[in-house]
Structure 1
Amino acid sequence: MSITAPFRAAAILLLMFGLAACSTSRTLDVAPPLASTASMSVKYAAIVVDGSTGSVLYEADSNAPRYPASLTKMMTLYLLFEAMQQGRVTTATEIPISDYAARRPPSKLGLKPGQTIDVDMAIRALATKSANDVAVAVGEYLGGSEEQFAQMMTAKARSLGMRGTTFRNASGLPDVEQRTTARDMALLGLSLRKRFPAQFAYFSSQNFNFRGRNIRGHNDLIGRVEGVDGIKTGYIRASGFNIVTSVNRGGRKLVVVVMGGNTARQRNAHVEELILRYLPQASAGGV
């Protein structure tokens, strides 16, 4: 039997409360991560959260302001999934590509002004390719303009309890005023999985076919690390290498956020070590 909307909302609120209670001003009574963080950059921040209870198992500067880079697209997708749930769009809805959207720098699909992309393919392009041209097109379609959509994104962040996040665009391209925290990204990851379980499967895709081209994704942990089922990577020079990772193995669930890696390889290795240490501490057989 499916969980009714009130009970589902209550479950999400419980997770939010657990995360909201965490603070980097205290030291958690947990062992340090296996990997030394001495080689991580000054941009480093991380958090490991029990995906069933919302309990924080590890954190490092989790409330410190950081640039989200393409983790921003998690919120772009959240609002797109919400529009689908409310019946405002379907997977077949065609989204037009404006001249402005087409001119966004890579990563992108290379769509031309006047072309369209359906919602199903747009989701794949955002979740897997992290396409900036598609992110802007989605923002313009749902918000009227990217600026108005960014305001919608920030408002949604506040409603989810993401107090340290401000969005200025739909893609995560550089903007000095676009900030978030590792804690907020964990909360967004939890909220996506809890509210949109069917759509969350998009985040586990390693590639997709677009007009005869096989488009490969950026998340090398998917398919390589047991139990990893998403969710999103991100990089701009100001942020370093970011990732939000969802893990579901043997009934135990984690959301792991690492921000500010010097390289994608270093970031991924650190995530693997955090999973190895903290997955056994996660509750078994949760919600």
Structure 2
Amino acid sequence: MFRRSIDLPSRISLVAAIVCALLFPLSAEAAPPPYAELLIDPATGVVLHAQNPDLPTQPASLTKMMTLFLAFDSLDKGELALDQFIPVSRRAQNMSPSKLGLVAGTSIRVEDAILGLVTRSANDAAVVLAEAIGGTEEGFAEMMTMKARMIGMRNTTFLNASGLPNVRQKTTARDIATLSQALIKTHSRHYPYFSRSSFSYNGAVVHSHNRLMNRYDGMDGIKTGFVNASGFNLAATAVRDGRRLIAVVLGGSSSRERDNRVAALLDHGFGVKPLGRSVSTVAVAAVVPTVRATIKADAPRAEKAVAQSPKPTAKAAAKPAPAAKPGSWAIQVGSYKSHKAGQTGLATTEKVIPAHVKGAQGTVLKSRTGVFQARFTGMTKAAAEQACSRLESKGQDCMVVAPRG
């Protein structure tokens, strides 16, 4: 029998190819995130609508609902006070966006940290609260999971305080609805924080990520979230004619689709109109790969974009840093460790939304906490809001800054 010989390099290449094929099989397209939705009447406990309510997925920034639950517990026990200043660690400073831009060695008021979570979904503020309550974020995550079991969240495990990606951090639509109900019942005194659409911090107006709250009558919370593995999540609650409903959507293909579906669920529960079909898994599979490439609201992105972006052009670098005109609005596109990094952030933003910042003046300001804030000034309120909306749709952080005085 004839046996063909294979030289050593060829054997190595063949083995490598077989290993790669086994470890990294080719697929036509990435699997879509799990999709689930649930509508309940918390007063009666009746489930008004459900689709995959016990399907596990990553909670993304809905994780911060439990972070806030434990913060409210600490306030009620007297372990924390709203006006108390808590320290910012290096770990908190180095968190990925979204964040407030906190700097290690400084401190932040407990109430500002709470509002940072509610509105901005700030990952650095989440770590600051976690370390203040649990000593370490890991220890705090254990407290979170323990509290989850205590209130009836049977299929949830927390590994961090922010919701940043972790394959072992899991929840379900039913558990998120349980957490929503527990927040409202247990912490009715603190729950109004979730209805805040904005707050002022360090000279800037921080706006809420939950845009549905501005257009759905009676909605007063609760939280949005997104990571690649989960898709777009939202836990929402609204009150009409004295009746409260809780709606949860996990795995939406876009923030708009998720918001519209939550509105449809609530309309159904309040008897406004019949409920149409939910988003199909086919539709999700078709849209999510594009979303993954462009929007990573709760995942690392801004630092990477700044690090990989080209150096600012001479035109951008040469721009002066004039004071904003009286009554003018501005947008803040990032907080950086150096003036040079802030200029890079401005240059990157100009390339992303050139039409929206045309005519605005780029400036880098040093704040009282030592960070450098990159802003475009001299804008109208409408232009600033449109610019931020456009930036956030492309996965970049942005804050609208109201004029002083």
| TM value normalised by structure 1 | 0.82
CA deviations on 1:249-282 (whole Å, 9 max, x unpaired) are: 111110100000010000001011111111239x
C-alpha deviation, 1:221, in angstroms: 1.2
The one of 97, 108, 111 aligned to 1:117: 108
Mapped to 2, the partners of 1:42 and 1:241 lie a distance apart of 9
**Matched residues, number:** 241
CA deviations on 1:6-65 (whole Å, 9 max, x unpaired) are: xxxxxxxxxxxxxxxxxxxxxxxxxxxxxxxxxxx5521011010212211111111110
Amino acid at match of 2:225: G
Computing the radius of gyration over CA atoms, which structure comes out larger, 1 or 2? 2
The one of 81, 86, 92 aligned to 1:90: 81
Contact 2:33 2:229 in 1 (8 A): no
Whether 1:182 aligns to 2:173 is yes
Whether 1:214 aligns to 2:190 is no
Amino acid at match of 1:152: M
Mapped to 2, the partners of 1:73 and 1:259 lie a distance apart of 15
Mapped to 2, the partners of 1:49 and 1:116 lie a distance apart of 40
Amino acid at match of 1:260: G
The one of 30, 47, 53 aligned to 2:38: 47
Amino acid at match of 1:212: G
Mapped to 1, the partners of 2:212 and 2:86 lie a distance apart of 30
The one of 214, 228, 238 aligned to 2:219: 228
Identify the residue that residue 246 of structure 1 maps to in structure 2.
237
C-alpha deviation, 1:225, in angstroms: 0.4
CA deviations on 1:210-247 (whole Å, 9 max, x unpaired) are: 01101111001112100110000000011000000011
Contact 1:162 1:184 in 2 (8 A): yes
Mapped to 2, the partners of 1:144 and 1:88 lie a distance apart of 13
Whether 1:169 aligns to 2:160 is yes
1:1-287 matches, cutoff 5 A: 42-280=33-271
- Secondary structure at 1:117's aligned position in 2? strand
Mapped to 2, the partners of 1:159 and 1:51 lie a distance apart of 18
The runs of at least 4 aligned residues of structure 1 exceeding 2 Å deviation read: none
Identify the residue that residue 325 of structure 2 maps to in structure 1.
none
Mapped to 2, the partners of 1:168 and 1:273 lie a distance apart of 32
Q: Taking every aligned residue pair, what percent have the same amino acid on both sides? A: 47
| TM value normalised by structure 2 | 0.59
Mapped to 1, the partners of 2:243 and 2:214 lie a distance apart of 18
CA deviations on 1:117-136 (whole Å, 9 max, x unpaired) are: 11111110001110000101
- Secondary structure at 2:224's aligned position in 1? strand
Identify the residue that residue 22 of structure 1 maps to in structure 2.
none
Contact 2:34 2:56 in 1 (8 A): no
Point out where structure 2 has 5 or more consecutive residues left out of the alignment.
Answer: 1-31, 273-405
Amino acid at match of 2:37: A
Mapped to 1, the partners of 2:127 and 2:254 lie a distance apart of 27
Amino acid at match of 2:59: P
Structure 1 residues 83, 54: closer, same or farther in 2, change over 3 A?
A: same
Mapped to 2, the partners of 1:154 and 1:42 lie a distance apart of 23
- Secondary structure at 1:53's aligned position in 2? coil
Mapped to 2, the partners of 1:68 and 1:43 lie a distance apart of 11
- Secondary structure at 1:235's aligned position in 2? strand
CA deviations on 1:87-118 (whole Å, 9 max, x unpaired) are: 11110111111001100000000010011111
RMSD, aligned CA: 1.0
Mapped to 1, the partners of 2:80 and 2:127 lie a distance apart of 17
